[in-house]
Structure 1
Amino acid sequence: AQMFGLHWDTVRLLERRALQAALSDLPKAQPRRLVMDEFALFKGHRYASVVLDADTRRVLWIGEGRSRAAVRPFFEELGPEGCARIEAVAMDMNTAFDLEVRQHCPNARVVYDLFHVVAKYGREVIDRVRVDEANRLRHDKPARQVIKQARWLLLRNPQNLKTPEQQVRLEDLLAANHALMKVYLMKTELKTLWTPSTAWGWRSAWKQWLRHAHESEIPALIQFAKRLKSYWRGIVSRVRWPMHTGQLEGI
C-alpha cells in the first residue's frame, strides 16, 4: 500500500481478486480422506478450523470457529455426492467435528489423532497426579519440591530429554513415587494402541489397558479411561487408516 500509494482496503481487494483468479484454475477437489483441525487466532480465545485433503495435502477450506455450525458450510459446499465419497477423517477428539462428519459423511470413519490424545492424557492424568502427590507430601518439603518441579520431565517424551542428568532425574522420581510411575507407564501403553497391525490385536491391547487403568486405584486415570471408552471406534480406525493431523504442520 505504501509502495503504490494505495489505500489498504484497495490492496486487500486486489489481492482477493488475484487469489480468486488463481483458485478458479484449480481442478475441482474430489477428496476421499480428510484431516480436520482447529487453531487459535492471534493467540487469543478465538479459533478457526481447517480441512485438508490427506492425499494431495491441499487445503480445502478454512473457516472461523470450531463448532458444528462453524464447519457445516464445508460439508454443504462438498455436497451429498462429495460427502458420500469420504472414507476417513483424521481429527482430535473434537465432538463438533465428529458429529458433523457422522451426519454428512455416511461412509466415513473417524480417526483420532494420537498426539492429541496423549497430550490430553498428560494434562488430565499425569499433571493431575503430580499435583495430588505434591499436595500429599506437603509436610515433606524436599520431596514436595522435587515433584512440583518435575512437570516438564513427566510430560516430555523420554527421547526428547536433552541430557543424561535429566534421564537420571526422571528415573529417580518414578522409582520414588508409585502413582507417578504407574501413570507414566500407562502413557507408554496408551501409545501402543495406535500401532497394532490387526483389529484383533488392538482389541486385546485395549481391554488390557482399560483393566490396568481401573485396577490402578488412581482417580484421574480411572476417570480418563471411562471417558476414553466412548471414543474407541475412532481409535481402532487407526488400524486401517494410519492418518494423523500432523499433516497440517507447516501448511
Structure 2
Amino acid sequence: MLDATFPGLAWEGFVPISSKTLGSSTCVIHLAPDPAQAPACAQCGALCPKVHDTQYRRVRDRDLFDYRVWLDVPVRRVRCQRCGVGRERLSWLAPRARMTERMRLHAEVLLRLLPIKHVAQLTGLHWHTLKAIDKARLGRELPPLDLSRVRYLVMDEFALFKGHRYASVVMDAERRQVLWVGEGRSREAVRPFFVWLGEHCQHIEAVAMDQNTAMDLEVQAHCPQARVVYDLFHVMAKFGREVIDRVRVDQANALRQDRPARRAVKQSRWLLLRNPENLDERQAADLNELLAINQPLMITYLMKSQLKQLWYAKNERAARWRWTHWYNQALASGIEPLRRFAKNLKPYAEGIIASAVYPLNTSVLEGVNNRIKVIKRMAYGYRDSDYFFLKIKSAFPGKAR
C-alpha cells in the first residue's frame, strides 16, 4: 500500500509500514526490518540473524513532490561471530548520519550549481549541514598533486574580506593548478607553503610574482636556486600611478593660465595609460597632438614604452643592456617622478631581467582572482576560509600534460 503511495522509494533491508503527515508539507514514514532479509555486519558483511539491540533514528530523505520526507528507522546492532557486537550494514544510510545517501547525493548535485544559501532554501537543510556535505565532496574530488613535476610557480594575493584582509595563492605555472591558498600576505603567511613543499623546493626553477618583498625573501630562503620573475602588469601599473599620473598633475598645475591646454592634460590619463594598439584614430590623433606640445609627457610616455620592452628581450644579455640603457635615460631625464621610480625599481632589476630566461607572469592569476570574486559573490561571502580555499582549488584543478 505504501509502495503505491510512495513509488520509487526503496530502503534495502527495510519496508515501510505506515506514514503520517505533519502540517501541509512534511511526511514521516515509519520503516520496519524486512523479515525476509537478515541484517549484515557493517565490518565484515557476514549475515547476523542475532540482534543485540535496536535504536530508532529519524533521518531525512529526498523530497517527494511537495513533501519533505523523514524516515523513522530502527537501526540495529547485531552480534557477529567474527566482529562481536556492531552496527548493521546499511547501504543507504551512513553511520551516525541524519540523512540518507540519496539525500546527500541530491544535495551535492545542487551545491555544484547553486550557492549554499539557495540550496538551503530549496531543501530546508541548515547552512552548516550543506557546507559540511560540500566540503567533504571537494576534499574527495580534488585531483592528486604531483609536486615532483612542479618547476615554475606563480604567486599573488587577493582580497579575502573587506578591511584590507588578504590571502595568498600559489599556482603551478605549467599546469594552471592552484597548489596552495592561505590567509595573509606576509612572510609568515606564505612560509607554510614552502614547509609543505618540503624537499620539492629544490625542483623550483623560477617564481613569478609582483613586487612583494615578503614573498621574494621567502622564496630566496627556501628555494635559493630559483629565479624570481617580476610581473609586467604590476610594474607597469605602478609606473602609471607613480610616474604618469604625477607628471600629468604637475603639468596641469603648470598650465593654470592656459585653460584649454590644462583641460587637455587633465583629461589625458587614459590616453597615456592605454596601449597604442587599443586607441582608435581620434584618440591616437589626440595623443599625438598632446605629446607634440608637452615634452615632459612625451618623455614619460616614451619611457613607459621602453620599460615595457624589457620583458620582451630575446635573451638575458639583451635584457640587461635594455635595463641599463633605460635606467640611465630615466636618471638623465630631469623628471623627478621618473627618476624616483627608476631608483626604487633598481633593487628589482634582476627579477625583470630574469623574465628573458623565464617568460612567466601573473596574468593567469589575474584570471584566477576574477574567478575568486565570482565565487565569493555567488556565496554572498564565506564563513569558513578552509571551505573557501577548497572551492578555489576545485575551480582550478589544472590541465593534463
What TM-score do you get using the length of structure 1 for normalisation? 0.94
Compared with structure 1, are the counterparts of its residues 44 and 173 closer, same or farther at alpha carbon in structure 2 (3 Å cutoff)?
farther
RMSD of aligned Cα (Å): 1.4
> Please, which of 168, 171, 174 is the counterpart of residue 49 of structure 1?
168
TM-superposed CA distance for 1:46, in Å, is 2.2
Unaligned 5+ residue runs, structure 1? Answer: none
Provide, for residues 14-36 of structure 1, a one-character-per-residue CA deviation record: whole Å limited to 9, x for no partner. 1111111112x524333111000
Provide, for residues 46-90 of structure 1, a one-character-per-residue CA deviation record: whole Å limited to 9, x for no partner. 2221100011111001122211121111111111x1111111000
* Distance (Å, rounded) in 2 between the aligned partners of 1:12 and 1:246: 31
Contact 2:252 2:263 in 1 (8 A): yes
TM-superposed CA distance for 1:139, in Å, is 1.9
Provide, for residues 120-178 of structure 1, a one-character-per-residue CA deviation record: whole Å limited to 9, x for no partner. 111111111000111111222211111111111111111112x2111111111111100
Q: Which has the higher contact order (CA 8 A, sep 6+)?
A: 1
Q: Is the aligned partner of 1:150 residue 2:272? A: no
> Please, which of 161, 174, 184 is the counterpart of residue 65 of structure 1?
184
Contact 2:240 2:273 in 1 (8 A): yes
- In the alignment, what sits opposite 1:91? 209
Amino acid at match of 2:240: G
User: Any idea what SS the aligned residue of 2:257 has?
Assistant: coil
> Please, which of 253, 265, 268 is the counterpart of residue 135 of structure 1?
253
- In the alignment, what sits opposite 1:196? 313
- In the alignment, what sits opposite 2:281? 164
* Distance (Å, rounded) in 2 between the aligned partners of 1:38 and 1:64: 9
Amino acid at match of 1:54: A
- In the alignment, what sits opposite 1:237? 354
Amino acid at match of 1:151: R
* Distance (Å, rounded) in 2 between the aligned partners of 1:242 and 1:37: 16
* Distance (Å, rounded) in 2 between the aligned partners of 1:199 and 1:35: 20
Provide, for residues 101-136 of structure 1, a one-character-per-residue CA deviation record: whole Å limited to 9, x for no partner. 111112111001111111111111111100011111
Q: Mark the structure with the bigger radius of gyration.
A: 2
Q: Is the aligned partner of 1:176 residue 2:176? A: no
Q: Is the aligned partner of 1:110 residue 2:228? A: yes
Amino acid at match of 1:14: I
Q: Which piece of structure 1 moves more, 196-205 or 109-118?
A: 196-205
Amino acid at match of 2:241: R
What TM-score do you get using the length of structure 2 for normalisation? 0.60
Q: Normalized per residue, which structure has more strand?
A: 2
Q: Normalized per residue, which structure has more helix?
A: 1
> Please, which of 191, 196, 199 is the counterpart of residue 77 of structure 1?
196
User: Any idea what SS the aligned residue of 2:334 has?
Assistant: coil
State the aligned residue count: 248
